[in-house]
Amino acid sequence: MVKKIGSLVVLLALILAIPAHAASLRLVDVLPDVTFANNNAMCSVEIYADRTNDRISATMELWQGTQRIGTWNDSDSGYLFMEESVRVEANKIYKLVVNYSINGVSKNPVTIYRSNG
Amino acid sequence: MITEEMLREAAHKASEVYTAYCERDYDPENQYVFPQEFEKKIERLKHRATHPVFYKTMHRVASIILSILITGSAWITVDAEARAAVVGWVKEIYETYFVFRHDRITNTATESADYRPTWLPDGYSEFRVSATEARTVVIYANDAGEMIRFNYIHNPDETDWFIDVSQSDIKNATVNGNEADLLIVQNSDEANGIAWVSADTAFYVTGFVDENDLVRIAESVQEI
């Protein structure tokens, strides 16, 4: 009986903890960018969370059509800045996708398009 | 039998009677003067009748301009990038984000201005400043470790700034005459935010303060 009540309490705590944790994710802002110089693309993203101890993890991917040109991961607390360079072709449209999570909770990915030429 | 000649004579007499009736109060010394507006209208009609080609061409030119305006307006309404190219900063809602978009229309030779709020709630002081080419972030903190984050983006290049509003109520506000969006969380333990655009710069302030203080901070922002 005690085990059953204990299990229920743990389950209830988990159920309550999920929305409480998710609810603490407020007003995150994301600034992705791709700039081109010659045949190089400089991909960057800045992510700010609300608190200095919010754990931010992100994956940045650069796509040209269906081909993935590059993928990079990083994580930090409170603020995350990633900047990576990769060789690209002229006169093509590139897509930068940023998948990220705050304190382990995934957020909707952010996508931008930029043209090289 | 009534002949055609008789009918004509009768019509002539009737015409004379009608003319005499109409002219019964006619005074040659005191003729009716038409209003100036009427005269102008008649002049315009005469002008139009004597220059038909000119008026037809003007009609066609007006139709083409109207078509361009309608097509352009529809395009700008539908395409956010086109809108951004015309009006600078554009805010749109994409999934759970406010997206502030900006296209390259600013004169890149123009130097970016620096801004700071001139009012903050008691106890806050500047904690950290981070400035890149595009963005400036100033963080203020109080003794309790609560922060107010003042951000602005002045990048003259193409910019997409995503603000996650999935957990917020969005309210309209005004900051020094500019439309603003208050992002309010109904929980005093969480940060609220305010976003607005002014002087070709997008501003965003978040902090553990209520909406009145957010608006007050926003309205106090000045170029330094």
List the pLDDT tens digit at each of the 224 positions of chain B: 889 999 999 999 999 999 888 888 777 777 778 889 999 999 989 988 888 888 888 888 988 888 888 887 777 666 655 555 555 788 888 888 888 888 755 554 456 788 999 999 999 999 888 887 778 999 998 887 778 999 998 866 788 889 888 878 889 999 999 999 999 886 666 789 999 988 788 899 998 888 899 999 999 999 98
Q: Do A110 and B168 touch (CB under 8 A)?
A: no
Interface test with B, best of A18, A24, A31, A103 (most B CBs within 10 A): A31
Q: Which residue has the higher pLDDT, A58 or B64?
A: A58
Find chain A residues with C-beta within 8 A of B151's C-beta: 29, 48
Q: Show the DSSP H helices in B31-147 as ranges.
A: 36-50, 52-78, 80-87
Interface of A with B in 63-92 (CB under 8 A): 79
- Closest-CA distance of chain B to residue A5, Å: 31
Which residues 6+ apart lie within 8 Å of B137 measured at CB?
A48, B128, B129, B130, B131, B149, B150, B151
Confidence of residue A2 (pLDDT cuts 50, 70, 90): low
pLDDT by residue (tens digit) across A23-57? 444 578 899 999 999 889 999 999 988 777 889 99
Quote the pLDDT of residue A111.
94
Find chain A residues with C-beta within 8 A of B130's C-beta: 79
On the question of pLDDT at A116 being above 50, the answer is: yes
Q: Do B158 and A114 touch (CB under 8 A)?
A: yes
Q: Do A110 and B97 touch (CB under 8 A)?
A: yes
Quote the pLDDT of residue A26.
58
Please check whether residue A95 touches B, CB under 8 A.
no
Q: Both tokens of residue A113?
A: 């398009």
In this structure, what is the dihedral angle of CA atoms B157, B152, B175, B194, given to the nearest 10 degrees? 120
Quote the pLDDT of residue B78.
65
* Helix B80-87 × helix B52-78 angle, to 10°: 110
pTM of the entire structure? 0.64
Point out the residue among B95, B160, B183 whose CB comes nearest to the CB of A112.
B160
Find chain A residues with C-beta within 8 A of B133's C-beta: none
Closest chain B residue to A53, measured at CA: B145
Helical (H) or strand (E) element with A68: strand A67-77
How would you class B59 by CB atoms within 10 Å of its CB: exposed for 0-12, middle for 13-18, buried for 19 or more?
exposed
